[in-house]
Amino acid sequence: MSDASLILSVSGLRGIVGESLTNQVAARYAAAFAQWLRRDRDVDTGLHVVVGSDSRPSRAELEPVIVDALAQEGCRVTRVGVQTTPAVALMVRGVGAEGGLMLTASHNPEQWNGIKPFTPDGAAPSPEQVTQIIDGYHAMAMRLSGRSHTGAIDEDDTCGQAHVETILRNIDVGTIRARQFSVVLDSVHGAGGPSTALLLGELGATVKHLYAEPTGRFPRVPEPTGELVTELCEAVCDQRADIGLAQDSDADRLALVDEHGAYVGEEYTLALCSQHVLQCAPSGPHAVAANLSTSRMLDDVADHFGAIVLRTPVGEANVVKGMRQTGAIVGGEGNGGVIWPRIGWVRDSLAGIALVLDMMARDGRSLGEHVADIPRYAIVKDKVSIPEGDIGPAIARVREHFTSEKSDTQDGLRIDWTNRWVHIRPSNTEPIVRIIAEANDAGSAQALIDQVRAVIGAPATA
Catalytic residues, by residue number, are: 106
The H or E element spanning position 118 is: strand 112-118
Comparing CA positions, the residue from 223, 340, 342 lying closest to residue 275 is 340
Q: Cα 92 to the chain's mean position, in Å? A: 18
Instruction: Using only the alpha carbons of the chain, give its radius of gyration.
Output: 22
Starting at the edge strand that comes first in sequence, how are the strands of the sheet with 12-16 ordered? Answer: 7-9, 12-16, 112-118, 99-103, 48-53, 76-82, 153-155
DSSP secondary structure, 396-423, as one string: HHHHHHTTTSEEE-SSSEEEE-SS-EEE
Burial of 128 (0-12, 13-18, 19+ CB in 10 A): exposed
Q: How many CB atoms lie within 10 A of CB 3?
A: 12
Length of the chain in residues, anyone? 462
CB 210 within 8 A of CB 185: yes
C-alpha–C-alpha distance, residues 100 and 105, integer Å = 16
